[in-house]
Amino acid sequence: MEYKIILGIVAVAVGLISYAVYFRSIFYGRTKPHMFSWLVWGLLEGTAFFAQLSRGGGSGAWVTGATAALCFVVFAAALKKGEKQITRLDWYSLLGAFLGLALWGVTSNPLIAVIIVSATDFLGFVPTFRKSYHKPHEEAAMLYFLSIVKLVFALFALESFNPTTAIYPATLVLTNAAFVAVLLVRRRSTNL
């Protein structure tokens, strides 16, 4: 079990490093986070954290809790230094994310909550995907790449590996990988 604690600590450390780099990029004006995405992610990470804890996630859930807190800090920074162009699609995504949270609230089943949260996470990602497709240089690919790394460590750190504890971090690995790919392709095409 001790190696799982070490993996949990490594996951949190990678997360803290990635957010330190991200905050630096925000405050130097290179990154302009979309506030809707970060608000939704903070709420979803918090939900997933408590669901993971309820099903024995242990040290593998630590990174989810830490990420929830950091998402709210990015949300606060985005209010001042983030993307200011809010589209109708962004509002629909935010509404859909809140609907997903409401659905979670009416269920007492942690697995259903994690499935809803995992599906809702993509709705939260839509504003950032949309903004970054048009402005690929205003988002930090390194944060999302390091998120993949921390989530892989977190998956291996789970003390109880089951659908409730593993689905959310696994779907985040896939979503973050897709986002990094979109950023890199769009940056390359805009530089040509």
Distance between CA atoms of residues 123 and 89, nearest Å: 10
| pLDDT(168) > 90 | no
Domain count, the chain: 1
Is the pTM higher than 0.75? Answer: yes
CA angle 88, 29, 62 (to 5 degrees): 80
Q: What percent of the chain has pLDDT over 90?
A: 43
Q: What is the mean pLDDT of residues 142-146?
A: 93
Residues 21 and 139 sit within 8 Å (Cβ to Cβ): no
pLDDT tier at 145, thresholds 50, 70, 90? very high
Structural domain boundaries enclosing 68? 2-191
Mean confidence (pLDDT) of the chain: 87
Q: What is the mean pLDDT of residues 81-99?
A: 85
126 vs 60, more confident = 126
